Amino acid sequence: MFNKKLLLLLPILATSVIAESNIETEEIIVKNYKYDSKEGLSPYSVEIHSSKEIALAGSASLMDYLAQHTSLNVMPSYGDKTKPLIDMRGYGVESGYQNVVISVDGQRLNNIDQSSQHIGAIDINSIERIEIAKGTGSVKYGDGAMAGVIQIYTKDYNGYSLETALGSSGTVKKIANAGFKGKNFNLSVNATDDRHAGFSDRDTTGQKDNFQNKSQSAKLNIVASKDLLLNFGVSSSRINTYLKDSMTKEEFVTNPAQNSGATYNNYDTDSDTYSAGLKFKVNEKLNVNADYYYEDKIFNALNASGSLYTKDYKGLNLSAEYLEKNYTISTGLDYFDGERVDTTNIGTTTKDNIAIYIESEFQPNWLPEKAALSAGLRQERVDYTHSDATARYSTHESLTAWDVGLNYVVDSQLSFFGNVNHAYQSPDIDRFFEGVYPAPNYTFVRRDFNGFIKPSEVNTLNMGVNHTTQANKLKIVAFYSDLENEIVYINSTVGNGNIDNSEKYGLEIHDTYKFNNKSNINLVYKYIEAKIGKNSDGFIDGKTLPGVPKHSIHANLQHKFSDQMQFNLSHTWKQRTFIMSDYANTNAQKAPAYSSTDANIDYEIKRFPQFKKVRLYGSVTNIFEHKNALQGYANSLYAFNFSRAWMTGLKIDF
């Protein structure tokens, strides 16, 4: 096992084996996370995925891209790819998604209940870039940013495009984009119809595990004056999916596509979102932003517990940024109001957050000229209420986040960075309830209120190094996280609770090597130790948190055959883990290792001058048909990505 002190020194020691070069390569610009700055000058670890990289990967969905082309540990939520389980830095697939904040164009996707972020309505082709910041983000994003933040930014279109794709298992995609640009406005419109007919055998009623997503979105930016920008947005998605239930280990090994003699569960999610905002330049040094959004969501689960509930979310973000030559100060106020109304004897539950924060980047005189500090503080209040036919309950939490970071630039190629971050996660409302499954059938009948539980808090130390030459770009990051009251599902009590004195530490290595002007390779390696603490439910201090792979590797080879043709080959492997219920680490069964080899080819046809661009692409995923699955209990596996799948498509820009 790695010594923790040695682990934190590895980024510094690693520079002694880096080959020297005097040629500087282009650095990615990190926008809108803290400040517009170069990645090599940031005091935190960030991973950037551009629209070009996303397109070249050829992934069928955003979940597939995150699982197969990033450092995240991502699995579909018991078969549901629209609301995947996302684990960053060893928080596990059971609750890791609640320890990372995901936003789209600044709007949070985190829910107040135990459902994971709803990313299935986001057309992967509409994404301009994805920023994954690890071990930071709690000052600006607050509740839930224990592991970090994932920011997704969508494109502003100019012109028109049509795209269609066909694939295995009845995959059909139809996408239309339009952009209208005038003297003082830009309107972007997207419409997507995405479906597949199912990857498994028909169930006992003849139903396939199919999927359909119909979504539309529109964004309008208006330049009201030279100093004022107004923005408006509206989106709508209708997702219908049938999901398989679990299967035994023997069934999975024999044939993961079989129906296990059961009927498939039907889930419908309808979501409508509205947003409005402004950006105002007060003067050359002061900028003010204001954003408001509202989301109305209906979730309907047939043949599953918790048949129907509705959710209303309202959010308001106010911020100001003051710029000077050697420092920047940002401050803001965030408000969130979430309500869920459930039809299954659970009543109405609300979770409201209000917070203020201030953060700064500066270069004090007592530091070397090439060094910069960052610091921030956030105070947040979280109010809960629950009312049903018998009682009303309420409580509140007062929580604090802070971050201190340092970046030191040695020269044009080498920089060091580090930060200490304190973050928190207030419980989602489902953590306060327990399902009732009476004998003899043990089928779900209702949920009962079981009392409030404590928020989780963490202190994280990050240390890293960036080294960039003309041929190679290397980032090494070591981290250590010390947690109090980590929130988990405790299967022995069929409820939720806290684990004290958990810890997580690890090493992340990102390397991009450029062979020549046509070929390059990207490598990502992660080593993570996630240790739980003890509690009154019998947890043993020092055991491994289930669902966290200790080692994982992602390799991606890109080759440009010509100005028209590009090829991408990638492989992702994640070590097998303890099954999600095995906190004692004693079960003979282990969750299967994840493995997928994928290829994509992209060809631009230049024979049609009447069009701006014509692209033909094709992809094959899981070439070697590795059987992947999420495993919650012994003999309870949810199979996914277990067969080879292909897709081919055509996109025309007018």
Per-residue pLDDT for 25 more than 60?
Answer: no
Give the β-pairing of 565-574 and 577-578.
unpaired
Q: How confident is the model at residue 301 (pLDDT cuts 50, 70, 90)?
A: confident
Which CATH topology does 4-653 take?
Answer: Maltoporin; Chain A (2.40.170)
Q: Alpha-carbon distance 268 to 241, whole Å?
A: 7
Q: Rounded to whole angstroms, how far apart are CA atoms 26 and 35?
A: 18
Structure-block tokens of residue 180: 């209208």
Residue 368 — very low, low, confident or very high, per pLDDT cuts 50/70/90? confident
- Sign, Cα dihedral of 61, 62, 65, 66: negative
Amino acid residing at 637: L
Mean pLDDT across the stretch 306-327? 89
Q: Tens of pLDDT along 168-181?
A: 999 999 999 999 99
pLDDT at 19: 38
What's CA 429's distance to the chain center, in Å? 21
- What percent of the chain stands above pLDDT 70? 92
Q: For 13-147, list the strands marked E by DSSP.
A: 29-30, 37-38, 45-50, 73-77, 80-87, 100-104, 107-108, 127-134
Q: What is the per-residue pLDDT for 1?
A: 45
Q: Which residues contact 412 (CB under 8 A, 6 or more apart)?
A: 24
Q: What is the secondary structure of 299-338 as a DSSP string?
A: EEEETSSS-EEEEEEEEEEEEEEEE-SSEEEEEEEEEEEE
Q: Please list, in sequence order, all residues whose beta carbon lies within 8 angstroms of the beta carbon of residue 72, skipping any fewer than 6 positions away.
A: 66, 86, 87, 88, 132, 150
CA distance 113 to 96: 14
Q: Mean per-residue pLDDT for 468-486?
A: 94
How far apart are the C-alpha atoms of 637 and 135, rounded to whole Å?
31
Sign of CA dihedral 506, 498, 311, 76: positive
Is-contact 110 116, C-beta < 8 A? no
Over the stretch 539-595, which tens digit does the pLDDT of each residue have? 889 999 999 999 999 999 999 999 999 999 999 999 999 998 899 999 999 999 999
Residue 207 vs residue 58, higher pLDDT: 207
User: 230, 260, 234: which is closest to 247 by C-alpha?
Assistant: 260
Kindly give, in sequence order, each residue whose CB lies less than 8 Å from that of residue 13, ignoring residues fewer than 6 positions away. Answer: none
Q: Is the pLDDT of residue 529 over 90?
A: yes
85, 121, 157 from 95: Cα distances, Å? 8, 21, 36
Nearest C-alpha neighbor of 128 from the set 146, 163, 95, 153: 153
Extents of the domains making up the chain: 4-653
Q: Residue 282: pLDDT above 80?
A: yes
Which tokens is 79 given? 């078969």
Is the pLDDT at 638 greater than 90? The verdict is: yes
549 cis-preceded (ω within 30 degrees of 0): no
For the whole model, what pTM was predicted? 0.90
| % residues pLDDT > 90 (the chain) | 67
pLDDT of residue 312: 93
Q: What is the pLDDT of residue 443?
A: 72
Among the residue ranges 134-148, 335-349, 562-576, the one predicted with the least confidence is 335-349
Q: Dihedral through CA 128, CA 30, CA 574, CA 587, nearest 10?
A: -110
Confidence of residue 303 (pLDDT cuts 50, 70, 90): low
Amino acid at 63: M
